[in-house]
Structure 1
Amino acid sequence: MNSEHLQIVKELLHSKISLQNHSYPEYYRIYNNKLKVSYLVKILDNSTQQYNLLLQLQKEYQYLQELSNCEYIVKPIELIIDNNSTYLIMEDPGGLLLNHYIPAKGLQANDAFHIIQQILNALKFFNKAEIIHKLINPYNILIQPSDASIRIFNFQLSAKVNKKKPADNIEKIYPEYIQYFPPEQTGKTNITIDFRSDYYSFGMCILKLLCGHTIFSTPIKDRFDIVTYILSCEINPYFFTNLGIENKYANILNKLLTKDKEDRYPNFVEIEKDLHTAFHKKSRTSVNIEIPNFSPDLSILTEKYYNFGTVSVTYTKAVRTVGKQNIPFLLYVNGSPSYGKSSFIEELRKSSSYIKNELFSMYCYEDRFEYKPFIGISKLLHSLFSTLQHISKSKYNELVENIKNLFHINHLDYSYYEAQLFFPKAKKKNNSYLGKIRDNKSIYIEGYIKILELLGNLEYIVICTLDNIHWGDKETAEIIQNILLKSNSKILFILSFNPDQV
């Protein structure tokens, strides 16, 4: 059988690169920049007559097909037996192995949680399909550095639930994999494998993400030494705190990595609940931050990531950085990216999982191609209404009245009120307000000043702008600075795509 994909793979075999994820048969990345094609390929030499490996490859393809709707796995293309070789061809999502991505001392908690949440979502999907992965570890997870999205692969040992299967022969499994094995998967116990076995491997991944290593602080190459340690290691919360893990995470790890699977979490609901509690626990202590002078230094959050080359990456990174501060704020994003509007908004939505602040609201409106700036303003105000309800009722009502009085209206909708009041020089055309606003910066500034005056009621503000025409020059910055100095806000970051222009 000869397919278009197989033909391309064969032509590019000379350029194949091993993923080095310790799998056999190996996974290769095969790509050609000119043809703009890239595959992940697993190739089995049939002449070796290792029928068990052929069966593994066929099952792996079967499981990939069953899970093809899961966004967290590498997508299968086809399995082809051709002459003396069998090819498992998959889409290449790009990225690098998670094991190569994690720094020696682990990731920041917020960054780790984004990855942890994705792995958990994948495991929930596997659960519904009644598939136990059995090789959940950073060597079998690809991650995109730009947005930290992951794809899981290598289902060669996977099995269906309730299907009796002999223990895997650890002599044929790489030591790097075995350190993520639960006791029941080592072949040294009489305990059956089920979903809770993947929970154990998941817990070991969390440990690796948080501190840079598993329960093995130093590498052990001998398979049987690894198994002996897994079976003898006394797991308790103190074990993890001695590794520098905070108590709130140590308690979760203790319930995931306990040797007796009956003592592990019984389901995903409890795991997810405890993870969200631990990673999003809010500090009730007050935060005192000096008001910085409004200067080009305020753009440093994006400048650090500017070389990533795309708007979405730059802003996702910036939002995550700001979000790590445990302070309440409103985030207002305006403008539309030139690198694909929908993908940008999706990136920001992903990054919102990093925000642990008490007050968080985000709306990105798209005006570059659709000319709808007023919808954005109105939705911003609706966001204010919903996110400010945690403050005192009197202050909330006061802010609502201020907004109504400013607009001279009794309600807010998504039509033309804000166009008339924020941009009085704009002209109506075919029930919408077009072009001229974009050509007159002072009109834009006039509206945004009024917004900033309202935002002065908030304790903290973060504003991102993609369109430098609004405030990408000294004149605009000075106007905004004067407004801010008179406001009650304690801190403001204005993040511009081009750091040199703010």
Structure 2
Amino acid sequence: MISYHTKAVTTLPGYQLGQCLYEGPRTLVYQGMRLGDGASTIVKILRTPHPSFNQLVQFRNQYAIARHLQHANIVTPLALESYGNGYALIMPDSKAMALHDYWHKFNPNLEEFFVISLQLADALHYLSQEQIIHKDIKPANILICPHSKQIKLIDFSISSLLPKETQTIQTPNSLEGTLAYLSPEQTGRMNRGIDYRSDFYSLGVTLYEFLIGNLPFNSNDPLELIHAHIAQNPEPISTWVCLGGQLCPEPLSDIILKLMAKNAEDRYQSALGLKYDLKKCLKEYKKTGKIAAFTLGERDLCDRFLIPEKLYGREHEVETLLESFHRVATGESEIMLVAGFSGIGKTAVINEVHKPIVKQRGYFIKGKFDQFNRNIPFSAFVQAFRDFMGRLLRESDSALAHWKRKILEAIGENGRVLIDVIPELERIIGVQPPVPELSGSAAQNRFNLLLEKFIAVFTTKEHPLTLFLDDLQWADSASLNLLKVLMVDRQTGYLLLLGAYRDNEVFPAHPLMLTLAELQKQQTTISTITLTPLSIPHINQLVAETLSCSIELAAPLTHLIYQNTKGNPFFTTQ
């Protein structure tokens, strides 16, 4: 059995544990020796004696993904030992230390920086070839052997192994990784999936910090950091003193800023392209002690088929949506609808305004009605607010205390009604007393009133709220009634309700259209954008950028695609 004390593990069957090398909030790392053959090992264990299922899955994941990797710059684990309620990850002891500790202890020069960076580029190239996204590149997960300067990448606990036919994973519903090093798309607020280029962004943050000793964005407020990754450009470091006590060469600053581009299409497209530019810098630096300006990415070619995750031909529609948000940010409330056929890009257009809304400190939440669950009332509202509460739970303790006070002031002792449909709310406001049972319309009216007061807590001048309800053509009658409650005679403002629906599936007597007509009679501001198919020039631009060729060369393929899809964006990408 394992013995638990203040630091968790003191003994592990088959191993002799020595000095504790690292003590983190979730894990402990020990020096060890395998008793069978006397091999020197590193033993990583979970700190808690009673880990959650998710913690166990993540811990096992790092072994499952890394055990088959064979690369000089990646630590391949030796074994995963079961014990008690958890696991111990056994790794070879290469006498390495964390990169962060190394640069503080040994004060490396710029030449060493290039040696380290080139090895990291090698490791990321290997991972991309193996269809692995690390998702947590940071100094603490990079080891270095002080004498050989060999780099070792560790910790694949949240990494993703993609199927061969897949190049991206979907936008995450929750934050994974270390916030200071997180790519914009990993925040879940960028309307795009995650691919291997997410690791390039995290590498850029790591190299930025390595060079000048400061992170590009530094804050103890999670929302501030998320906002910075999405909306703020890092300060160029060409005017900063870097390793070796000299000004950072401008081309090196440009390489790091290219790695940290907000959109993945603007970053390096391959680790080999990055490696080429770094080698060019190192060669000139060793020769002259300086690095002259040059064009970045000359050998940077993507080695896989990736369709750019950006909108084509929807600039006017996106601008209309943003104007609507700007009006709401001044204190108004309104409904903006986006209509069109299936696959025409309604959801994509609305999601595109997510980033600008976050940039202006607004909240953007979304839910989707389901064709086969129309018997479940308020399903899209519940989905949106469950996700929103999950986001709030990642804020600081002081922020949570603020929300708890505001919510309880708004809903009084009726919190149990909302907790029954939004369980995450209980973790913010605590256990609430039972409430009298009501039936029929009385219960629905109480719920509507409470949800209206609850939503009003988050519709403020500091944080205007955008609520996106997708597939409104399938909304249940209770949800449509709630729409009327929320939008009629609103006194507080700062609420933008975005809705998407298939206009070919509704008719004048459809419940949605009747609800909208009733809202218009009540002087509610309602606008509608109807999306049309993409034009041939816009599809040609998509094809040319996907295949990295000229628009003239892309034209024949574009016409063939257009004949088959008639400009439908979904069918076009398929």
TM-score by length of 2: 0.43
TM-score (norm 1): 0.49
